[in-house]
Amino acid sequence: MLQQLGFELLTAKAFFLLLGGGIGVTLVYFLHFYNVWPFGNDVEPATADQLRHIPLLRFDGSNNVERYMNETRSLLRQGYEKYLRQGIPFQIRHPVGELGSQVLLPTKYLEEVKKAPTDLFSFEAYSAKSFLLDYSRAPRQTEAAAHVIRVDLNRNLGPLVTDLWNEAAQHLSENVSFEWKTVSAYELVCRFVARVASVALVGAPLCRNPAWQQIVVETTFVAFGAAQAIKDKYTPRWRWLAPWSESIQKDLRRIRKQSIDLLRPLYKERREAMSNTDSFRDPSEVYRDVVFWLMKSNQKDRSLYGITESQLFLSLTAIHTTSGTLNSFVYDWIAHPEYHDDILLEVTETLAKVQANNGQWTLQHVAMMRKLDSFMKESARLNPIGFVSTQRYTLKPYTFKDGLHLPAGTTIMFHSDGAHYDADNYPDPDKFDGYRFLRLRETVDPNRFHYASVSDSALGFGAGIHACPGRFLSAIAMKFFLINFMTQYEFKYEHGGTERLPNLYNDNTSRPAPTVNLLYPDKPFMAINKRYRFVIYPTSSWDELKRVPEQTASIMNFQHVCNSGDWSLIGGETHELVKTITAELTRSLPARVLNRQQDAKMTFDTIIGHCTEEKGFNLLMTSLEIIAKINACTFVGRELGRNQRWVKAVIYSPLFVYMAVTLLNATPGILRSILRPLYFLPVTKNYWDMKRLLKPKLDDEIKTFKETKDKRKLLVPKSDEDLPFTQFLLARYTEAAATIKQLVTDYIQVSYTSTPTTASALYHALWELAQHPEAADILRQELKEVMVDGQLPRTHLQELKRMDSFLRESFRLHPITRFTLQRYVKEPFQLSDGSTVPPGVMAVVDAQEINRSPELWKNPDKFDMDRFYRLRELSGNDNRYHFVTTSSNSPGWGDGLQACPGRFFATSTLKIVIAHVVMNYDIRLRKVAPLKSSPLVNGSYAPDNSVEILFKSRSAK
């Protein structure tokens, strides 16, 4: 993932260069900037002789450049105590030797520096010198862009704040991983900041576009990577060649082109709106983003190219400084659980007020969270991402009021980190006091000491009118991240414990430790993927969810919504069909073991055949065909069940639905109604093909049912005849409801729901069997003990306890879906913990958390075929831990009245198939490799279609 976002440039050296640049370049927002750079190399860095009147501070012992890259913070602290607190400036070596020394000024000079014109003390020149902007041709700021951020953006934060919240919540929900693993905290927050900041930069929907987000993140790496490449490749005398270097310029050109392509539709739309004088809506009320504000600004170049350059520069300054700071907040939140309850209460009260305001945020709501604000400011004080601020390059000689003289070419800055640790400013400065600034606001000044405030003792955002104007947007975005995460997730370091990991230092910048492990909480949370909203509940909600009545929350409606049931017919099972499966079909299974064993033999003879040598088969398609044939013989009878056209139609049914739903999910909402018929055309054709094949059979069976007086005889399954499945259905339907259309729909439903799920279970059972040949020997021995004349027992196969354990263990490790107790909520309902499940969401329980729980299962990631066999052998457990068990530790079949009605039928099928395999074949995988199941948007898993399995017959035919 990091590489997809351009993080391949993130070497330690590049990262700290990036942070240093981000901290500095952010200040360009508020400085006057010329399109034609006047400074260039005209003002050479001040020499050591010119600065000899300023004390030089150096490391004791070795004073090499590496120490200035890794230990600067300690040296700056020493200088602060020795010189700055006494009002004396000092200088230290610059890691980039050609730039001369860095002069650290005490805060008594801050007022003069703040008020000085930009042609005297210039941050632009500092940036150009430090990051070689004259040679890299990286994006540059305009005066209009600075004005847009300072005025237009901040003026519109009120109207934008709800959009920022919605985008923040949606982004985090969309990025909840189905496979929860260790995640880079920096990557996590960086992607979040890229999207939320883009709400103000470009608006929706472009802010959600992954291509745009990648540009926003990557621009900084490319710009500062170009600077580093120039330093590595050219000496100062030859840097004028860099603009013509293909290796240096190619990535910048690529980003510019991609950005222009993405911004072109926005630019055109806003330009047309601005020129349409007949419109009854003011474009300023429609477009609240930097693109629009720049287009109506006095920026000299308001072309698409000019707007793009400003966007890239604003992206460059906005993302990584905010991301580093937010990363640090996350770590301090983990390190200080003593603040959690209090701040969570404040946040919860604020969220309740927002909800009472129809879910609309205001800046007043944001300001209510004073404890969270204080916590953030304390975190930034103790762990800043930069140790200096207000960096300037002196373009003219200057003498301060007290007589201190600075020659032209002097790099100056103020030690913000020293001020933050000064006991005169903050008593007990080394202690984390989350409410330090809350108390100052309550006792000193309620309008000072908030997170975004600046002062002589709080220099993180710069100083005076030139303080970073984007800090208010940054503060809101970071608060929205923290609100979502502290209310929906729990954090845990991968290494355990809660102590904050040490920061990494480089030059004048700091980086929080790079990774943190995020774990599921024991409370519900929302996850939104490409199409659906899931409310994922912990196992503790199991009993309540399973008892929710069907009219309130239904698994059939879940399937209907996820599979576009109005077109696919999926999820429309009638109660008559469900009862037929639960009752008549299940009761018939013991008597039909022999018939189904014969069906299995016929199926394997047709598909696999007798293999004297190993023969390869695609595991997925073979599993589908085996299950489709055997099940079809039960449902539609052997004649039609052996019809290859019917079998193919059954196999293609879920595949066609899957393809149609996938295409629909990828289609913009406005086009879905237009393209839906086209997407579902194969589904519709398949339906008509199945209907044509079924109709003659159904006509005969309906006629027979109507003509037979004693219908009870028709409903008694006979071991030597087909299962009277149609008669079962007809007996439950009223005469008016028992139409050909309804019966065809029922057969399609039962084929769809039984084939892909059972085939997935068989796929994984065969995979595990091929991986564990010793398991096949154990199962073969068990079968020999219960089989009579090659026939399986009629007692519903319950005597095969080792096989039952084998199948349940495979099902535990390889479930067909990530979730269980899936319900589409039609009416709101409340759980005992006070949480309300809203209508229109998918309420689910995380089955993966149960299946892989180390608290439930020893070595949960290991395949242990006898795991459940041993548990059943314990006293009192004989009726527990069956493959078909439904409980909170057996999530595969669901639970309650809406548990899978066909689980007994599926279990019977799987045992018959596995028995046939182990008695007749030896199997192995052609290539042993980890399985790569793919998660689908409804939470199911698609098995790996590349696995090949080899069959070899065990005996002569």
pLDDT in tens, 330-353: 889 888 989 988 898 898 888 888
Query: What's the rounded mean pLDDT across residues 389-403?
Result: 93
pLDDT of the residue at 951: 96
Dihedral sign of CA atoms 153, 155, 160, 165 in order: positive
CA–CA gap between residue 133 and residue 817 (Å, rounded): 52
Q: Report which of residues 228 and 43 the model is more confident about.
A: 43
Query: What's the rounded mean pLDDT across residues 398-407?
Result: 95
Examine the pLDDT at 528 and tell me if it is beyond 70. Answer: no
Residues 422 and 539 in one domain: no
Instruction: Name residues whose C-beta falls within 8 Å of residue 222's C-beta, 6 or more positions apart in sequence.
Output: 6, 9, 138, 251, 252, 255
**Range of 301's domain?**
7-516
* Type and span of the H or E element at 823: strand 819-825
In 3D, which of 150, 182, 748, 196 has the Cα closest to residue 464?
150
The pLDDT tens digits of the residues spanning 240-260 come to 887 787 777 888 889 899 999
Strand ranges (DSSP E) for 395-455?
A: 398-399, 405-406, 411-414
17-26, 349-358, 500-509: least confidently modelled range? 17-26
Instruction: Name residues whose C-beta falls within 8 Å of residue 79's C-beta, 6 or more positions apart in sequence.
Output: 57, 90, 92, 104, 415, 418
Residue 368 is part of a domain; what is its CATH number? 1.10.630.10
Where does a domain end: 459, 484, 516?
516
Residues 484 and 564 in one domain: no
Exposed (0-12), middle (13-18) or buried (19+): which is 910, by Cβ within 10 Å? buried
Question: How many Cβ atoms sit within 10 Å of the Cβ of residue 250?
Answer: 12
Contact at 8 Å (CB) between 229 and 248? yes
521 within a domain of the structure (yes/no)? no
Vertex 780: Cα angle to 776 and 782 (nearest 5): 120
60 within a domain of the structure (yes/no)? yes
Residues 20 and 131 in one domain: yes
Contact at 8 Å (CB) between 635 and 729? no
Examine the pLDDT at 440 and tell me if it is beyond 90. Answer: yes
pLDDT of the residue at 462: 81
pLDDT category at 21 given cuts 50, 70, 90 is very low
What share of the chain in percent tops pLDDT 90?
32
Examine the pLDDT at 5 and tell me if it is beyond 60. Answer: no
pLDDT of the residue at 38: 37
Dihedral sign of CA atoms 797, 798, 800, 802 in order: positive
Q: Report which of residues 405 and 72 the model is more confident about.
A: 405
417 within a domain of the structure (yes/no)? yes
CA–CA gap between residue 319 and residue 186 (Å, rounded): 11
CA–CA gap between residue 128 and residue 555 (Å, rounded): 62
The pLDDT tens digits of the residues spanning 408-430 come to 999 999 998 889 999 999 999 99
Annotated binding residue at 900?
yes
Question: How many Cβ atoms sit within 10 Å of the Cβ of residue 276?
Answer: 10
Query: What's the rounded mean pLDDT across residues 374-402?
Result: 91
pLDDT of the residue at 955: 76
pLDDT of the residue at 498: 74
Instruction: Name residues whose C-beta falls within 8 Å of residue 766's C-beta, 6 or more positions apart in sequence.
Output: 619, 623, 917, 923, 949
Residues 167 and 205 in one domain: yes
pTM higher than 0.85: no
Tokens of 514: 């790079």
pLDDT of the residue at 281: 65
Residues 639 and 684 in one domain: yes
Residues 199 and 337 in one domain: yes
Query: What's the rounded mean pLDDT across residues 222-233?
Result: 79
CA–CA gap between residue 369 and residue 347 (Å, rounded): 6
Residues 198 and 329 in one domain: yes
pLDDT category at 35 given cuts 50, 70, 90 is very low
The pLDDT tens digits of the residues spanning 77-131 come to 999 999 999 999 999 988 766 678 899 999 999 999 988 988 899 888 888 787 7
Instruction: Name residues whose C-beta falls within 8 Å of residue 240's C-beta, 6 or more positions apart in sequence.
Output: 135
Residues 440 and 546 in one domain: no
Examine the pLDDT at 357 and tell me if it is beyond 60. Answer: yes
Tokens of 857: 């299962």
pLDDT category at 299 given cuts 50, 70, 90 is low
| Intra-chain end-to-end CA distance of the chain, in Å | 53
Residues 453 and 543 in one domain: no
2 within a domain of the structure (yes/no)? no
- Total structural domains within the chain: 2
Residues 539 and 420 in one domain: no
| Length of the chain as a residue count | 957
236 within a domain of the structure (yes/no)? yes
Query: What's the rounded mean pLDDT across residues 589-613?
Result: 91
The pLDDT tens digits of the residues spanning 671-694 come to 778 888 898 899 899 889 999 999
Residues 870 and 918 in one domain: yes
Query: What's the rounded mean pLDDT across residues 445-458?
Result: 86
For 731-735, the CB contacts below 8 A with 24+ separation are 732/576, 732/579, 732/580, 733/576
User: How remote is the C-alpha of 471 from its chain's centroid?
Assistant: 26
Vertex 678: Cα angle to 677 and 681 (nearest 5): 80
pLDDT of the residue at 29: 35
Examine the pLDDT at 662 and tell me if it is beyond 90. Answer: no
